[in-house]
Amino acid sequence: MKQFILLLATLGTLSALSMSCRDKTTEQPEAIVTDTVPPLFMQIQKTSRLYTTEYHIHKIVTHDDVVRLKGNLLKQDFDIPLPLGERKVAIPMDATLKAYIDFSEFSEKNIERNGKHITILLPDPKVTLTSSKINQKEIKRYVGLTRSHFTDKELTSYEQQGRKAILDNIPNMDILPTAQANATRVLVPMLTQMGYKEEDITIAFRKNPSIKQLINSSLEEK
């Protein structure tokens, strides 16, 4: 009888241990939720400027002026170009435009996460004229016999006018939309590596930004 009771007690202990083991093996581990915003913010801010687009522009800057004789004779106005009083110049210019995203003021406020979906509001691309060069050997001049030759100061002034004309023409180019598209191509792979699906990623910009505010008219050093 004592042996029978001892056998029941042993079986009961083994049964309890078996159930305890089953409970532990079937228990699901708690999901670990990782906040990807801070590391993403840090990774983006490592680059103060993200250059996304580069345009090479070739432009011919022209200038001509004629000495004219103007006046009034017998109540009749006259405006006569003087013979041999004309000057013309054509200046070939090569310039480089670059568009970039300035991340100096980028913060976590620019990142919004809603479940699996993430939205990044990027600063608007800015455009700057990074270089301009005149091919001195290809400058074409015509100077009338009664006129003085173009001075270096005049040629420099015409070059500045050419740079301004290029910057003024930026709104007619597709450089800003191209810069936005290229910025998206850079950031989306970065986000997919962090575990986001491409369809859950939105890269946004301001609507209808002021073009003039996006153009840096200064000539930067290379």
26-65 exposure pattern, b = at least 16 Cβ within 10 A, e = fewer: eeeeeeeeeeeeeebbeebeeeeebbbbebebebebebee
Question: SS3 of 34, please?
Answer: coil
pLDDT of residue 74: 63
Alpha-carbon span 125 to 178, nearest angstrom: 10
pLDDT of residue 56: 94
pLDDT of residue 25: 42
pLDDT of residue 80: 61
pLDDT of residue 2: 40
Alpha-carbon span 204 to 99, nearest angstrom: 17
Q: Which of 92, 61, 91, 88 has its CA nearest to residue 149?
A: 88
Reading the chain (222 residues) residue by residue, the pLDDT tens digits are 444 333 334 434 434 444 444 444 444 444 333 455 566 656 666 667 889 999 999 999 998 877 665 667 666 775 666 666 788 999 999 999 999 988 887 888 888 888 889 998 888 889 999 998 888 889 998 888 877 888 889 888 988 889 999 988 888 888 888 998 998 888 888 888 888 899 999 998 876 555 555 566 555 444
pLDDT of residue 98: 93
Phi then psi for 134, rounded to 5 degrees? Answer: -110, 130
- Whether pTM > 0.85 for this model: the answer is no
Question: What token pair was written down for 205?
Answer: 């910009």
